[in-house]
Each structure stands twice: as structure tokens, then as C-alpha cells.
Structure 1
Amino acid sequence: MHGTNRHITGSATGGPETPPLRVLYVVPPSKQFAGIERVTDEIASALATFESPRFDVSVLYFRDYPEVVDPAYSVIRGEAERTRHIPGAVQRVLDTHRFDLVVIPQFEIAFLCMVQDRLRGRRTHIVLHLHGNPEIERAVSLKSRVLFAFLKPAAPRFAGVIAVSPGLARHASAMMGGGVSVEHMPNPVRQLGDHVRVGAEALAGRNFVTVARLAYQKGHDIAITAFRRVVDAYPDARLTIVGEGPERPKLEALIARLGLQDNVRLAGMVANPSAELASARAFVTASRWEGFGVAIVEAMSVGLPVVAAKCDFGPEDLIVAPELGELAEPNNPDGLAEAMIRQLAQEPRAEHVEIRRRHAAESAKAAVVARHAAYLADLKRSLPA
């Protein structure tokens, strides 16, 4: 990871009389460069070169990621192995750097950072950026449940609260008592359809694809179990699962137990799944929970219809018309199988490909970053100096 402490002062279009808006993003010490890490890198990179308003963007990382190469923003390296170490690391950065706004993902981290900030006598403007599922976070540990008890009283003390999907924004606002505005700020999604799109031959086939890490959250076991019924109805149906992760041994055993070795393939990690998407009839996801659904948007950008479990949060905010796909009951292999079978029974329509691509384009990076830029600039203007 390169670019340490290299601050960008803005574009040539501005002058010294209009100083850039100084923003710090905090990235938790995750072992993988996945959701929060990738989204932060993309937004920070784009904001650092945004012309009006201008931004001076820094990102605080606690791990070195090979995916971060010569970023346009400044990289600040911190030391933190666990959540409880992050607030102190943020305060050490604030000892030597000044920022107008500090954007922190996940309530637990943001709340602890705000508490330590106040104990240090500071009044840093912290923006809470919600990516995941608060109910899942509360369920995983007693510590999270205790901290979430402070969500309602703490919420008004954040400079702003943003969420990656409308459903998550509504849920978070209700948890906060309804008196705090939670803005929907979608994740930027690469438009794979700019380079390849699904063709008539693939749409007429019986190949399904999913793209997600092999983790319990993503529900691959549900999709594989459902696919047994799909294969019973259409013996030549195929499912390609793109991704890698700790669930691989369990999924391999499930595939063997259901006799699906010829129908289900674990393709491993693929950096750009354009080819896999373009050769499929439909995209399927059986996630148990989501925050947004980046892979769904990527699939639609290629022109694929989507069969998705109606989990919290994301899929129902994205699949809003029949032309885009179908929602199935979550945690229900039979319901998912029926939706996939219905997809195979439908006559594909070429005009729906462009409808899906236009819908996906609403999450293109340029559009999303412009929304983030406007939100942060408006927020800065509304806050005390």
C-alpha cells in the first residue's frame, strides 16, 4: 500500500481562498479488502480528485492492502488489532492532523471513537456510515448488544448518519427513535456492462451464477440445496459460484451429498466476473442478510435478471420491478428453487436487458460520488466551525 501521508490539496480550478474540505475515512482492521474497504477506497479516490467542491481526503488504515496502489488520497497508517484499539488510534491521528469531518463505519466503532473524542475534550464532527445489519451485529455478541443500547441517545451527537440502502436507512432511523435524519447514500458499483453484456444465447440457456465470498452470511448452502430441485426439473441446469472463503469444505460436501457435482461449480475467486455473468441466464443470491447488494447491481449492469432472497437489507431496494428479477422468501430453499424454475420457464426478452442496465447505472461511481460530495459539503456548511 503506497501513498502514505501524501495530501491532495485540490484541483487547479480552485484557489487559496477556497480551501478544500478535509475528510478522514476510518477503515476497520479487516483481513480482507472487501465491502467497507473497497467502498471507502473508491469513494475516497474519487473525492480526492473532485473539482467542485474540492476535497483533501485521507484514509486511516490498520492493515496493508495490496489492492491499494498509489491512491489519489493520503494514506495514514494506524496500529489497531481489535475494535477497542481504534478510538485511541484515531485520537493519535487527530493530535497531528485537522479534519472537517471524520467518516467512520459501523456504530460500535463510531460510538467508541466519539466517546473517547469527548473525553479528550474534542468536538470532532463524526459521520456514522452504516454498511451492515444492526440486528446481526447486536446478535453476535453481548458487547455489541450493550453498545447498541446507547444508539438512540448517541445518534443526535453524530454530525451526520448515512446508510448504504433505503431499507437500512429506515431501520436505523427507527432504532434511533425517528428524530435523527439518516441519509441513503448508495455504494459505488462498477458497471461491468460497460465492457460486456449478456447475449441472447446465454439468456436462452439454463446457467445461473452467483458472486460472493463463501461465508455463512451469503447463504450458498441455501442456494445449493434449492438447486437440487432446479436440476430435478431441468437436468441440464448449471450453477456457478464465484468466490472463496471459509465455507468451501462444507459447500463441497453438500454438493457431493446432493449429487450435484455435474451441476454446481465452485469457481474460486475471480477479480472481474464479467465473463461468468455474461454467460449466465440469471443471477441468484440467497444471502441471509446484506447491507446493500453490490453483486446484484453488477449483475444487472451486464443485463442479467436477479433471483434474490428478500433479506434485510438491500435486495428489495434494488429489485423493484418484474423486469429486474424476483424476490424469494429468505432462508427458504424451496421458495428460492421455485423462483429459479419460474425464471427458466419465462421467455427472455432482449428489451429487459437495457432496462436492467439503466437501473444499475444509478449506482455508477460518478453518480454516487457526486451525491457523497454534495452531502458532505452541505453537512460542513451546516455545522459550527
Structure 2
Amino acid sequence: MQCNKVLYIVPPSRQFAGIERVVHELSNGMSCLEKEFEIEVYYSSNYQELKNEDVKYKFNMAGCLRIRDAFFSIAKFLRINKYKLIVVAQWEMTTLVFLLTRILGLNSSVICHLHGNPWIEKSKSRINSFLYFFFKKIVAKRLVEIFCVSSSLANKMTEELGTETVPISYLPNPVRKLRKDSAHFGQKKEFVTVGRLSYQKGHDTLLRAFSKFVNLHPEARLTVVGDGPLRKYLEDLTGKLNIRDNVLFTGFVSDPSQFLSHAKYFCFPSRWEGFGLALIEALQFDLYLISTDCDFGPADIIKSDDVGVLSPVDDVDAFFNNMVKAYSDEFTGSEQRAKVVEKFSIGEVSRIHAENINRILFGLKNEISSD
């Protein structure tokens, strides 16, 4: 039945990583629950990883790498397939999908599933700036709700839009369960970081801090897991900093378990985030977190010294000092780190999301009945 169909839309990307992984885990988790709706996912791009996953929901892959191409592809898809509720990842794609529902005359309600940092993303181009203005002034008040992936992001968005504009909820991200390499788990006092090699992730700050650390501990090792547009720049930077032999670049891997198992400290030097999923994955391996206090996510996760330490964004000296502190201390707190992980289990988070989708569908049904 139409009223029971819910579509998740994922914007184009080149890697099956943060947002893509979250939507997949959510959809898989909710598909295993008793609920009053059916889930379908529209991936704007193609992902080889999905062919190797146990997928319990119906999905489509459009093969688009640009939002413009995805816009026309989604328009064609929605002309044929009808949904009561559409959940769209990110504010840019939400704005475009909302416009499509109006252009096509669809009776679909739209939820924005906000993962990133709109205040950074809107400044990337004039088009983004215009889109965000349109989202804030026109689209937001016509959405059924905004889901935010961290509590600090939800608070900031509430300040931005006001409490009367649209309901805004914090719904946690699910974090997949990774498997420890028991043969090497926790044996080495090494550093590791996982993330796309882009300006957002702040790897240049980490490498500069690590070079200072190597001056104190020449035997220190850092593994950089991920790929991206700044890889060559970062590899060249290790040469300039004279730490080439201390740093390993692995390239993109879909499962970082091997590298997380070999380390003891997880570095997260991001300039901005929406949540910081990699932090929770690292905690599964009982790694101590060394992170920037960026907007948004890390401060919601690192609430005590048992879990990790925070430093200001782009502060090389502060990040270096926290690396020294973590390396010098025989930190405890494994139980505290495990408790943080439990809050983001796929089963628990899927239940929370399913309850909220059911709540919204019930409200929409009542609106129709009252009309």
C-alpha cells in the first residue's frame, strides 16, 4: 500500500562510506523489525560494496556522480514510483527532492536526514549559498521533520531555524560491528586514523602534530586509512616533515578492522563533522580517542578523559600535547568506552528510527483523517 512505503534517498558520492553506510545499516536493521512500513533506498551512485553485503531491503542504484544528474534521475524515478514518506540525506539533496515533489505534484512528505555541517557546506559555492537560503526560508518549514545525527547538531539547527519552523529531532547513527584481529589486538602503541583524505578531515594538522611527536619518539608509527583528493599532498608533506618512514598510507578500505586492531590510539583531526562515526568504530577496539573539538559530534562522544581528549580545531601544538599525554598515560576506562559503543548498536538505533518513522506516518494518517 502507498501509505506504507518509505523511500530513503542518498546523494551522489564516489565511496560507500559515512552516509551511505549509515543508510544501509539503518535500512537493514529496520527491515528486521515489526513495523508499519516498507523501506526502499535510492542510491544516486553505484557501489560495488552493496553486491557483497547481506541486503534485506529493496534498493536502486542510479550511477550518478553529480547532483545535477541525480536530480533528473530521481525525477524520472519518482514519476513511476510513489511514496508516502521520503527521507533524504543532507540539506542540499533535500531541497532538490522537495522541489521535485512540488513540480511533479506528488503527495509525498519529506524528512531531511542531516548528517553534515550546513554552515560550512553552504560557503563552498554561490550555488550552495543560494540553496541553503532557499532551504532555510522556504523548504524547512514545509518539511515534516529534520533528523540530526548528533545532539549538538540538532541544538544548532534549532537555534538556526527556531522552534516554530519544523520539528527537529536527534536520532543517533547506527555503527556497524567490526571484528577484532585477536592475533594482534592491542599489542602495539601505535596511532591510526580513518577517513577520506580531504581538507575537512584535517590530516595535515595530524601530520604536523605527529612530526613533533616523532622528535620525542622516533619509533612512533601512524597508519592513515583512506583515500581522497589530498593523498599526494599528504604523502609529500610526510617527506617535507621527515616522517615518511613513520607513516603508512593504506588507501581506501571498506573494513578498517585490521588496522584498528593493531593500534592503541585513534586520531580524529577533523575541521567539521556531522557526527564522527569513525570515533565509535574505534571505540569498539578499545582505542583511546585523540580528537579535535569540531562541530559536530566529538564532544557528544568524548565526555570524559576515560574515553579520550579534545583539542581546538587546527591547533597543532594542542593536538601534539594530547598525543604525548595519551602515550605517556596508562589510561583505564575500558568499561566507559564500551558503554559509549552500546548506545550506537545497529539493533538499538534501528528501533529508535523505526519508532520515529511510525510516529510520523501515524501523524500523517491522522492529518488526512481530520481533513
TM over 0.5: yes
Q: What are the ranges of 5 or more consecutive residues in structure 1 without an aligned counterpart? A: 1-8, 10-18
Q: Which residue of 1 is the match for residue 158 of structure 2?
A: 173
Q: CA deviation at 1:244?
A: 1.7
Q: In the alignment, residue 359 of structure 1 is paired with which amino acid?
A: V
- Percent of paired sites with the same residue: 35
Secondary structure class of the residue paired with 1:317: helix
Q: In the alignment, residue 26 of structure 1 is paired with which amino acid?
A: I
Deviations 1:63-115 (A, max 9, x none): 32111126322223547553244444434333332322101112122122212
Q: In the alignment, residue 90 of structure 1 is paired with which amino acid?
A: I
Are 1:243 and 2:226 matched, yes or no? yes
Alpha-carbon distance in 1 for matches of 2:207, 2:61: 41
Q: Which residue of 2 is the match for residue 128 of structure 1?
A: 112
Q: Which residue of 2 is the match for residue 304 of structure 1?
A: 287
The partner residue of 2:335 within 354, 357, 361 is 354
Q: CA deviation at 1:214?
A: 1.6
Q: Is the 8 A contact 1:197 1:302 kept in 2?
A: no
Are 1:158 and 2:147 matched, yes or no? no
Alpha-carbon distance in 2 for matches of 1:197, 1:299: 17
Alpha-carbon distance in 2 for matches of 1:220, 1:130: 24
Alpha-carbon distance in 2 for matches of 1:48, 1:93: 22
Q: Is the 8 A contact 1:161 1:183 kept in 2?
A: yes
5 Å-filtered alignment, 1:244-259, equals: 244-259=227-242
The partner residue of 2:303 within 320, 325, 335 is 320
Alpha-carbon distance in 2 for matches of 1:65, 1:257: 36
Q: In the alignment, residue 38 of structure 2 is paired with which amino acid?
A: D
Alpha-carbon distance in 2 for matches of 1:326, 1:142: 36
Distance 1:249 1:76, change over 3 A: closer
Q: Is the 8 A contact 2:111 2:147 kept in 1?
A: yes
Q: Is the 8 A contact 1:222 1:286 kept in 2?
A: yes
Are 1:268 and 2:251 matched, yes or no? yes
Alpha-carbon distance in 1 for matches of 2:183, 2:353: 28
Deviations 1:4-32 (A, max 9, x none): xxxxx9xxxxxxxxx98311111212222
Q: CA deviation at 1:223?
A: 0.3
Are 1:68 and 2:50 matched, yes or no? yes
RMSD: 2.2
Q: Is the 8 A contact 2:178 2:284 kept in 1?
A: yes
Alpha-carbon distance in 2 for matches of 1:79, 1:277: 31
Q: Is the 8 A contact 2:144 2:167 kept in 1?
A: no
* Larger mean Cα displacement after TM superposition, 306-315 or 77-86: 77-86
Are 1:184 and 2:170 matched, yes or no? yes
Q: Which residue of 1 is the match for residue 17 of structure 2?
A: 34
Q: Is the 8 A contact 2:191 2:267 kept in 1?
A: yes
Alpha-carbon distance in 2 for matches of 1:235, 1:261: 12
Secondary structure class of the residue paired with 2:244: coil
TM-score normalised by structure 1 residue count:
0.87
Q: What are the ranges of 5 or more consecutive residues in structure 2 without an aligned counterpart? A: none
Task: Judging by fraction of residues, say which structure has more helix.
Answer: 2
Deviations 1:338-367 (A, max 9, x none): 111111121232xx2232122112111111
Q: CA deviation at 1:210?
A: 0.7
Are 1:149 and 2:133 matched, yes or no? yes
Q: CA deviation at 1:198?
A: 8.2
Secondary structure class of the residue paired with 2:50: coil
Secondary structure class of the residue paired with 1:53: coil
Distance 1:240 1:271, change over 3 A: same
Q: Which residue of 2 is the match for residue 138 of structure 1?
A: 122
Q: In the alignment, residue 171 of structure 1 is paired with which amino acid?
A: K
Q: Is the 8 A contact 1:197 1:303 kept in 2?
A: no
Q: Is the 8 A contact 1:196 1:302 kept in 2?
A: no
Distance 1:149 1:348, change over 3 A: same
Alpha-carbon distance in 2 for matches of 1:199, 1:378: 43
Distance 1:169 1:195, change over 3 A: farther
Are 1:282 and 2:268 matched, yes or no? no
The partner residue of 2:315 within 332, 337, 353 is 332
